[in-house]
Structure 1
């Protein structure tokens, strides 16, 4: 028996028609606005790098723990124990976050403490939480709002 082709929104004519303009109409005033506000390639790359750094679930758990820390900072051992991970994993993730200038560290003897250094990251985390805690809005509701 021959294998069947997978059905997905990308190869479904009906789904594609629902997502693409049915008529080719250029709205000159909209094109001008798009061009006036185009995100430069370097800026797009920097934002993409930020979001890719935030796309790792372990890093997000580390950031959330730091966001909620009563003193505003946590040591590697407390983060590892609290998240149920080993010190090496947490240290690696903190190194990535430090290289991206998202967290800062301070050393007291042999103990290293980390804290969030960017208010924008705090806001992104809080907005992300707000977004997922909202009721799930159906795609049809979103589509009808566009019209």
Structure 2
């Protein structure tokens, strides 16, 4: 099944089901959906499910807080459409258009580089917290003799 995953949600959903030892038909019955829908979610032919589906899944599998957070994260990462904030600079709009035009031809190395570049901001913030504070040098007149 490894090659079918197109979206983070599909992979995570499949792994959740397998980890709980539940067949697709059993999960479908637990959630009140058709088995074909469960299958479509797993192979990525359906987009991320509704919040109602997610809530049913959380209850049916008694997911931990960490699993719930991971689930919400993969749902967000699997969205097909994004809303661009209105207050972004013109440069960002052009960059997003350029990225959109090349999404289907990006090499995995390019994707990793883009992710690393975006992560630089987080590294700067983390390093700023760890940076030692410098002491002010005393002036000659402030020094004891």
* Structure with the higher fraction of residues in helix conformation: 2
Is the TM value for this pair above 0.5? Answer: no
TM-score (ref. length: structure 1): 0.24
Q: Which has the higher contact order (CA 8 A, sep 6+)?
A: 2
For the pair shown, the structure with the greater C-alpha radius of gyration is 2
